[in-house]
Amino acid sequence: MIEAVELRRVALPLVVPFRTSFGTQTVRDALLVRVLTPSTEGWGECVALSEPLYSAEFVDGAELVIGRHLVPRLWAVEHPGELAGALRAVKGHPMAKAAVELAALDAWLRGTGKSLACHLGGVREAVDVGVSVGIAGSLGELVDQVEGYVADGYRRVKLKIEPGWDVAPVRAVRERHPDLPLQVDANGAYRLEDATALAALDGFELLLIEQPLAEDDLRGHAELARRLATPICLDESITSLGSAVEAIESGACAIVNIKAGRVGGYLEATRIHDACVERSVPVWCGGMLETGIGRAANVALASLPGFTLPGDLSASSRYFHADLTAPFELEEGRLRVPEGPGLGVDPRPERLAELTTSVELLRP
């Protein structure tokens, strides 16, 4: 039985600004959800950004939806398996629902002594990780950034691209690192009419092109896939198990990026993973500038057997000078999967106190 829910906002300055085609982040304004039961507590993190640019959700809206519409539906929930049914009446808002689900799941698993990775079906003790590199101010700056991440040991690099910033940056990095596993992410910045420009990337032996077209353009992605040699991976277009199956079976993608927040939670993310494995479609775990709370959950998800490509997980130091939890650190290009009950990590009280901008405690 859930006795109370705490909504806490924290602000973590990023080590360096992170620029993409949908905006520049300098501070991670994160919404944390803490579920309290008679015997334990659990933590979740909402991955919505400050503005509705990546998706329709944004952190102020998510906080309102969770507090006003989702939390009142939790009081009768006895088991995380009941959550989906309890929250189904609220339309949309997958990132808000995912945060609530994770907090409840963490609390329940802590009570049973079972780790999240074990509960989801994880099979690895550590996972290969890559790093996502934003749009830089110059080619020289980009190459220097990539050089540093390669030296750190990352096993794959992803470059953000947009019209006018695509072939030249990819060429610059590929010339410096001819054998580096490399991929690009457009965040829907292109149109099908840009197919010729995107085909110019085929010569660089990329692992994939992520979300080149708009999220609702499966037909365009399927047509683009026929014109490119580089595999297409979808991100924003994958919002549920149904959308993932439709994208695969329509030929819109050959690889799937799974973000638990985008699809409504880690249980739905696991179902998408299973469907992709059944269809021999590789998957990898995407990131949303999570703190150590969300990062722990992502690492647990990435320990499932179908996650055969390095994810956007990264060490804590990639984004934050000091994380909310004990830092996740690279070990030969891998992150260790937490073994403790639930998430296997806890926020550090002194960091919470330092970074908290607001707290609200909700009771029945």
Q: Which amino acid is at 342?
A: G
Which residues are catalytic, by number?
Answer: 160, 259
Judge whether 33 and 66 are in contact, CB under 8 Å: yes
Q: Alpha carbon 250 to chain centroid distance?
A: 24
Give me Rg for the CA atoms of the chain: 20
Residue in this structure with the two tokens 């901008």, named with its chain if needed: 357
Specify the DSSP class assigned to residue 261.
H
Question: Positive or negative CA dihedral for 305, 307, 309, 311?
Answer: negative
Cα–Cα dist 85/248, whole Å: 27
Find, among 276, 308, 305, the residue nearest to 124 by Cα.
Answer: 305
First to last CA, the chain: 11
Residue in this structure with the two tokens 């590199």, named with its chain if needed: 133
